[in-house]
Chain A
Amino acid sequence: MLGYFLRRLGGTIPVLLAVSLFAFGFVRLLPGDPARLIAGPDATLQDVQAVRERLGLDQPLWQQYVRYMASTVRLSLGTSARSGQPVLTEIGERFMPTFNLSVVAMVWSCIVGVGLGVLSGVKRGNWIDQGSMVVAVSGISFPSFWLGLLLIDLCSVRLGWLPTGGDHDWKSYVMPAFTLGLPAAAVMARFTRSAFVEVAQEDYVRTARSKGLPERVVIWRHAFRNALIPVLTLAGLQFGFLLGGAIVIETVFSWPGLGRLLVESVSYRDYPVIQAEILLFSTEFVLINLLIDLLYAVVNPEIRLR
């Protein structure tokens, strides 16, 4: 078990290195002089020269990379060109709203998605099954930002029930969390259903049933637990994709989170912030994937023995 953990942990190191190389190389990929880009459009020649020296852009590339990594590890990420604040402060302020929103969206989509999946898997072909599969298929084609706008139109503009945006109280969570979680719930429902249907054909389920266990026990103790293994992986993956979806949803609902910060800084060409966000988002995804793999090994002994 420990061996597997260490091996898997070691496997992420090259990926993290690649991510850091990309975040590092990002500003250098841009057409033009990176020092001028980072200094901003209003910078004087002296400013640009100061940035060049501060960032060590006159030194060889490998030295620049070492410097970049050293300062990144110390969390000194530079200054936002737009607000003049340290990048770390900017990101710190925006982190919790995004985190809270993603967790709320994740929790409801897991409960509803898995619940619907089991319900449709147990009673295949009934109206819940057919209904949730229609939702699942259209869920992947539905532009989430459109759904968000339609909800704002209905619940805020027309009915006046919920605020149109911002992060104030529990009410402001309802629409963003619903919109953000819906595609995840759709995918989870579809996936849980197929995992459940597959497990229901296994020998041990037939054995459990034939030895006279009540249907409730067969479903929840024998079938559900085994069907949960692949669902768990998917839930982790969905969490990562939720963070991606948050970029668009935060724009729809004027949510003061990381996604909106990223969009704003890309439109403003605020490179220090973009660089830091790329690093942050990528590290998050790598860690989420690592966590899923480790969790998977805990649940399924076959994996760690390989």
Chain B
Amino acid sequence: MSATTAGGRAGSIHSPLAEFWRRFRRKHIALVSGAVILLLVTASVAAPLIAPYGPAVPDYNNVLAGPSLAHLCGTDTFGRDILSRIIWGGRISLSVGFISVALGGLVGVVMGLVSGYFGGLIDSFSMRLCDVLLAFPGILLAIGVVAVLGPGIDNVIYAVAVFSVPVFARLVRGSTLALKQTLYVQAARSIGVSRFKLMFQHILPGALPAVIVYFSLRIGSSILVAASLSFIGLGAQPPSPEWGAMLADGRSYLGVADQMTLFPGLAIFITALAFNLLGDGLRDALDQKLR
């Protein structure tokens, strides 16, 4: 639709990756977000090396202490160092976000490919299913899943994965419908390439840019939903340094120990914002192929 403005450099030949990078590196906000995410991931992976204290080490002489040089983000009810808990908790929040979207994305992508490629009954059935799933707010679906499986962080992963499925399924179905008609896919079909290979080797790569964009965006919202679930007591349970669970702890100490609410919340916000802004930047950089 608005692709005419960007199509001006027909003469020079760039690989799609180089072309993407040329556009993406101008998105300063997205670059910064990417750097923030890299930092968060590194900090989580290296938590045992970086965190000044263990996530569960109590210090009863230093209970509910405000920020100080010894405890940069203060301490909680057991005198546990909040900064250390946030760094360790990053492992939980980031992996819940990543694994759940990977899981939901995998199911959604296969569902979209199959229903876009074959059409007919499979297609209308799975798209109806997506309509129904999309009509519900993610948190309600997730609570429904937790109600069946029981509270706990493992079940939160499945719960959050469920509401990513329809997003990816619709997205990939749309691309599949368009790509199915392209010359190169028709050509591949005409020389007898198997359906499986057509779907996964010829059509899927074309749908991949959009999938990558949504991957980033979904991680942002999945981290939020997972933290909400832990906050209302249906996700990670108390001793765990999950960010939402930490906020739930801090709820009873508002005005007494604000550091218990302030810093975990900030961690959730920054992480979700970084993934959303990265996703927006990726979308802009990949725009040509998305529309």
Chain A residues engaging chain B, CB cutoff 8 angstroms: 14-15, 18-19, 26, 29-30, 137-138, 140-146, 149-150, 152-153, 156-158, 164, 240-241, 243-245, 247-248, 251-252, 262-263, 266-267, 269, 274, 278, 281-282, 285-286, 289
Contacts and interface: CB of A to CB of B under 8 A. Distances in A.
Interface string B97-108: 000000000000
Nearest to B227: A143
A143 B269 contact: yes
B231 A251 contact: yes
For the complex, would chain A's binding face be called helix, strand, loop or mixed by DSSP majority?
Answer: helix
Interface of B: 128, 132, 135-140, 143-144, 146-148, 150-151, 220-221, 224, 227-228, 231-234, 244, 247, 250-251, 254-255, 258, 261-262, 265, 268-269, 272-273, 276-277, 280
Contact of A278 (B132, B135, B144): B144
A285 B265 contact: no
Contacts of B233: 251, 263, 267
Contacts of B137: 240-241, 243-245
A157 B132 contact: no
A26 B258 CA distance: 40
Given A30-B148, A150-B265, A266-B147, A141 B220 contact: yes
B213 to A, nearest CB: 15
A281 B132 contact: no
A143 B232 contact: no
A153 B254 contact: yes
6 contacts: A29-B148, A141-B220, A146-B265, A153-B254, A156-B254, A247-B232
Contacts of B136: 240, 244, 281-282, 285
Given A137-B276, A263-B232, A18 B132 contact: yes
B273 A247 contact: no
A119 B113 CA distance: 42
B139 A248 contact: yes
A152 B254 CA distance: 8
A50 B272 CA distance: 49
Nearest to B274: A141
Nearest to A247: B139
B255 A158 contact: yes
Contact of B273 (A26, A138, A149): A138
A115 to B, nearest CB: 25
Contacts of A30: 148
A24 to B, nearest CB: 13
Given A137-B277, A145-B228, A263-B233, 7 more contacts: A140-B221, A143-B269, A145-B232, A244-B137, A244-B140, A247-B143, A248-B231
A150 B261 contact: yes
Contacts of B255: 153, 157-158
Nearest to A26: B148
B148 A267 contact: no
Given A153-B255, A153-B258, A15 B148 contact: no
A258 to B, nearest CB: 11
The 7 A-B pairs at the shortest CB distance, nearest first, are namely A244-B137, A157-B255, A146-B265, A141-B273, A141-B272, A153-B254, A241-B137
Nearest to A147: B265
Given A138-B273, A149-B247, A150-B261, A267 B151 contact: yes
A289 B232 CA distance: 27
Q: Most B CB atoms within 10 A — which of A143, A156, A282?
A: A143
Contacts of A140: 220-221, 276
Nearest to B146: A266
B143 A145 contact: no
Contacts of A152: 254
A109 B126 CA distance: 34
Contacts of B228: 143-145, 248
Nearest to B265: A146
A112 to B, nearest CB: 21
A267 B234 contact: yes
Contacts of A18: 132
A289 B277 CA distance: 30
B143 A262 contact: yes
A251 B227 CA distance: 14
A274 B147 CA distance: 8
Contacts of A156: 254
A141 B265 contact: no
B127 to A, nearest CB: 13
B229 to A, nearest CB: 9
B224 A143 contact: yes
B247 A263 contact: no
B231 to A, nearest CB: 5
A9 B124 CA distance: 19
A31 to B, nearest CB: 9
A141 B97 CA distance: 14
Nearest to A23: B144
A248 B138 CA distance: 12
A29 B232 CA distance: 23
A146 B269 CA distance: 9
A157 B150 CA distance: 34
A143 B268 contact: yes
